[in-house]
Chains A and B, each alone.
Chain A
């Protein structure tokens, strides 16, 4: 189960992801990112400090937008991954393909 909220802050939109993203809930992450980019905004932060678990279904959602972000000149920065979740990104090497920062301040600086 996952709960995703989108808040407009300054020059960017903040997506806050709370809970677990697995094969049963990844569609919610997909919808949230899709709605966010369709809003026309170009800068997004994704707060994952309360993301407890992610499986390949959730990772696949982030991966599937990488090309779209490039095409539309969108910047999306993920931050706040806990050690276990961060480890999953690293196993696949996604930490090299997505923009990931430790804190919100660092993520804002990367926008």
Chain B
């Protein structure tokens, strides 16, 4: 099954993105604790794109596609037309360093990498896709 959702680049829309992902995952009997971490990972990637890729410009939008298949698990495509930061190649910073420098950012992508099983950035001439995969038992 495939679900899609297009949203304007506003931070206030993150709540709607989370509700959309939760609604889809709940339909497939995924345990609540897994739903909560997957929702978090999607929220982190979307927040990153909305804030850093689009400077919260509500005239821009990003699109989220969720594919649910028993043999595949869950596949999330976050589709955008800006250049995407390569999360897959992202080296996790040391938490102690972040604390010492009193930085407030830099941990969202650590969460994404720890929650998801695979992350790919797929570049097309007119769009880029951040594909996140989670292998999970589906009902």
Contact = CB atoms under 8 A, between A and B. Distances in A.
B104 interface: yes
A33 B4 CA distance: 38
A56 B109 CA distance: 9
A97 B107 contact: no
Contact of A56 (B11, B37, B99, B108): B108
B137 interface: no
Interface in A43-79: 53, 55-57, 59-61, 63-68
A88 interface: yes
A57 B15 CA distance: 14
B47 A87 contact: no
Contacts, number: 87
B58 interface: no
Contacts of A23: 11, 14, 43, 47, 50-51
A32 B103 CA distance: 17
Q: Is the interface of B mostly helix, strand, loop or mixed?
A: helix
Nearest to A83: B33
A22 B14 contact: yes
How big is chain B's contact interface, by range? 20 to 34
B108 A64 contact: no
A65 B33 CA distance: 28
Interface stretch (B71-79, B82-90, B110-118, B125-133): B110-118
A93 interface: yes
For A57, A64, A87, A92, the residue with the greatest tally of chain B CB atoms inside 10 Å of its CB is: A57
15 contacts: A23-B14, A23-B47, A23-B50, A55-B108, A57-B47, A63-B98, A64-B99, A64-B104, A67-B99, A68-B102, A83-B33, A84-B33, A87-B36, A91-B114, A92-B114
